[in-house]
Structure 1
Amino acid sequence: MRVLLVDDEPLARQRAARLLAELDDIVVVGEAANAEQALSEFERCRPDVLLLDISMPGMSGIELAKRLGEYEPAPAVVFCTAYDEYAVAAFETHALGYLLKPIQRDKLAAVFSRLSRLNQAQLSALATMTAEDHDRGPRQQLCVNSAQGMSLLPVSAVRYFYADNKYVSAVHPEGESLLDESLKELEDEFSEQFVRVHRNALVSLAYLQGIERVGVAAYRVRLHGMAEGPQISRRHLPALRARLNKKS
């Protein structure tokens, strides 16, 4: 995988290059200190991936990512920044990774391990998704927090969302991931894909299999691929039964 490093701090580029050199099948093909240099280097070496700083003099990394998204094929982008408030804007450009400085070896390795499982056609397809595509309907991917840092989670993989105090999690086959969104916001956006079963839970209609009794008067959702689904409140039980009847 061919990588272009873009960062206005020489020491940051040196550290990234040193860490990338420890990974298999990764080659740093160029470096740039700003967006203008990055565009020139991109034309010269046509990298597969940009490891891209966000806050730079002149054009920001997010603006540069949008420009590069117009190319065919477009490179994949992994952002690295000292400020986590850029996460949502970064992922709106369909970046495939987001790392906080100073870059940690294990998190960098996790991002590039994920990228290495995608072929060039898949990388290009993800990188060239436009903001207009995003605006046509509900998102296809969510920005989530995990042990490896911030990443993208396909909405199609989510079995259910649930809220626990101030936190909302997406439950999927690989485990759980934290979201920076409320359950109400998710319900409004994904009303055609998820149904509320409790004040603290939304379940995916695609994986909904049925209702099971727990004890004398409690019920849980039965979901494909999950050993146990969330509890159903009495208030939402009639509507859920109606959705199941409609589905069958």
Structure 2
Amino acid sequence: MNILIVDDEPLARERLARMVLLQEGVRVVGQASNGQEAIRLAEKHQPDLVFMDVRMPGMDGLAAAQHLAELEPPPAVVFCTAYGDYAVEAFSSQATGYLLKPVKQADLEQALNHSRRVNKAQLTELQQHPDLSSGGRTHIAAKTRGGVDLISVGNIRLFQADHKYVTAYYGDGEALLDETLKDLEEEFDGRFVRVHRNALVSIGHIKGLVKDLDGQYFVRLNGLDITPQVSRRHATTVRKLIEQL
């Protein structure tokens, strides 16, 4: 069994690695200090199991686990949490869903014995998040002068149309796509919502709505300065959606 350990504290990672290596038939294929690094190493090494710290700077463990659930095949994810993280217990209610810190050897052994593949109940919980609907691609290809860049759909905040081209705005910048907004809306239904005839926004990145003096609504998105306009046609739908987030 291949193991990936994710924790922002080096001493915690090393301690857990030593405990894991006491078990037969396992090896640690990588250690990551944050969620983004965990995703990169998981794509590279395809671990069977990820021990994931919950509270980390940048992308936390819950967000990283959502991305890992999209991998094929997805690794099992066991959260490592302090006593105060009661939300994790509700999030991963099955016995192998989380370990309490400081991790005990007996609990670790139990997690290893029951986590050969993704915990079905845990994966169901992850897929209930609207930004992780199972439909559609996990990456979109954007043509550049140097070739083709692959953009993670989970990192895209906004698709905005301008004539026959669509611009994807994501965490690291923007890219022109040779695709129609209509096709993107159909493919990523449940992950993106139309707010205007020329804009789709990522449900998982919505921060809220702002209203100007003329009564016009605009969407605030995590990690993006652009605030797409909400047309009057879509305003009611968008407001109801945000109330449910």
TM-score by length of 1: 0.47
TM-score by length of 2: 0.47
Kindly name which structure, 1 or 2, has the bigger radius of gyration based on alpha carbons.
1
